[in-house]
Amino acid sequence: MAKHGETNKLKAAGARNARIIRILTACICVCLAFAAGFLLRGDRGLLERIGFESLIVAGEQNPGATVHGSTYSSISARVAEVEGILANDSMDSYDLDNTTAQLLNAFAESTEDPYLRYYDETRYQAFMKENSTKYGGIGVLFSEYNGLAYAVDVFEGSTADANGVKQGDFVVAIDGDRSQDWSMTEVVNALARDEGDSVIVTWRRPASMDAEGGEEFSTTLTTGIYKEQNLITEIHDQVGYISLKQFTQESTGLVEQAVSDLEEGGALSFVLDLRGNPGGYLTQAVEIASLFMKSGVVVEIETVRDGTSTKSVTSSVTATDKPLVVLVDGNTSAAAEVLAAALQDSQRATVVGTNTMGKGSVQRVQKLSFGGALRYTAAYYRTPQGHDINNVGIAPDITVNDDGEEGADSQKDFAIETAQSLVVL
């Protein structure tokens, strides 16, 4: 009997020990699972392989809870996290519009797109302002380099010319406003005023286009009506000379008529002068190329949405098949570079002068839902053979520098001589 009681006691003790071991084992497993979950929550690949996708979402949900996204890869999620913390716990407050402007301006500065700009509603309305032809200007043709407006041509006899403004001068301020980097469109709109109005323009004259420094000077200018011809034609020893200042909506018709008139005047070859041309309508560049090219690609265009697309010659009927020389310089830009590259790559023209600017990009202005707009680079141009234009430019077939002598134009003279030499009698 005593022996039987002792056996029962041993069995009870064993059962208790087994329960204790099971409990301890369960606790250890829970602790290990918790530790593993903590350690593995940032390992997206492993969690996906073992079927715990829900842990990924939970681990990357930003505390601000104002947007969904990963704070490891989304700036909006990071800003939302900070915004949420401040909204819930901070004793401070902030002005939403001012903070938005500062944040987006800093964002723009941190990118490699020199044309990226945030416009608040006031600046956006000024940017989009459409000007009537009744408004005057200061006698300057503006272009844009890395998002900054500069004088690409100063009209002889204009108020700007009389006050010493020169080609290559950048706009720093208008009427003392230097709170922004002035783009070409903003400068043109700001200077479109009633004839006889006075405006103060502050300029910067750098040592080169890429130089950051340079002498600053201010000019008080009176606006007036300036109508410099967009297209100039001449004939020199059976060479038809055509100078095109910029690509407007009428440019193709003007060039086509000029070719016809010069051929009637005895032209056996042509010089198309694109020096100082800041570009303009790409469609006009394509159509002007079609006046000289019978077929082929004029330009490649790269975008995020469409990849690489092309624009080709629009007609097989050309205005002339006579020899052609294209004259370019460091201020030949954008659509003007597209035209020069198309005629060069197709071997339709000999390009003479100096390397072009290398402004082979397209900017888009996108209105924002909360007011204002964003301007950014939306596309890049490439030559028909696929060569980059942006930050590279078009290298001439024959390099001819401007000798700098006042009243002389050695580049033009050389281009005319080259055009004469291409005539086969």
Report the alpha-carbon distance of residue 221 to residue 292 in Å, rounded.
Answer: 42
> Which of 319, 318, 339, 335 is CA-nearest to residue 327?
339
pLDDT of 145 over the 90 cut: yes
Give per-residue pLDDT as tens, 8-33.
554 555 556 666 666 666 556 545 55
- Would you say residue 217 has pLDDT above 60? yes
- Spatial contact of 127 and 365, defined as CB atoms under 8 Å apart: yes
The answer to whether 230 and 254 have CB atoms below 8 angstroms apart is: yes
Say yes or no to pLDDT of 412 above 60.
yes
Across 330-359, average pLDDT: 97
For residues 36 and 192, the model is more confident at 192
CB 342 within 8 A of CB 299: yes
Taking residues 146-166, what's their average pLDDT?
94
Return the DSSP state at 341: H
Please say whether the structural domain 129-222 has been given the CATH code 2.30.42.10: yes
Residues 90 and 184: their CA atoms lie apart, in Å, by 42
Q: Alpha-carbon distance 195 to 210, whole Å?
A: 34
pLDDT in tens, 172-209: 999 999 988 999 999 999 998 989 999 999 999 999 99
- Domain at 231-363+375-421: CATH architecture: Alpha-Beta Complex (3.90)
pLDDT more than 90, % of the chain: 68
Per DSSP bridges, beta strands 350-353 and 398-399 are parallel
Hey, what amino acid is at 212? E
Domain boundaries, the chain: 20-90, 129-222, 231-363+375-421
- The region, left, alpha or beta by phi > 0 then psi within -120 to 50, assigned to residue 346 is alpha
With 50 as the cut, is the pLDDT of residue 61 above it? no
**Between residues 255 and 51, which one has the greater pLDDT?**
255
pLDDT tens digits for 352-373? 999 999 999 999 999 999 999 9
Q: How far apart are CA 5 and CA 124, in angstroms?
A: 96
Max alpha carbon distance in the chain (Å)?
A: 139
Mean pLDDT of 94-114: 93
Contact 337, 389 (CB under 8 A): yes
| CA–CA separation, 128 and 298 (whole Å) | 30
What does DSSP assign to residue 356?
Answer: -
Residue type, position 27, single letter: C
Residue matched to tokens 């009637």: 264
Q: What is the pTM of this model?
A: 0.80
Strands, sheet with 198-205, edge to edge from the N-terminal-most edge strand = 140-145, 148-154, 170-174, 198-205, 215-222
pLDDT band of residue 227 (cuts 50, 70, 90) is confident
User: Average pLDDT of the chain?
Assistant: 86
Mean pLDDT of 295-302: 97
Q: How confident is the model at residue 68 (pLDDT cuts 50, 70, 90)?
A: low
Q: How far is CA 100 from CA 32, 112, 135, 356, in A?
A: 46, 20, 34, 38
For helices 282-292 and 335-345, the axis angle rounded to 10 degrees is 30
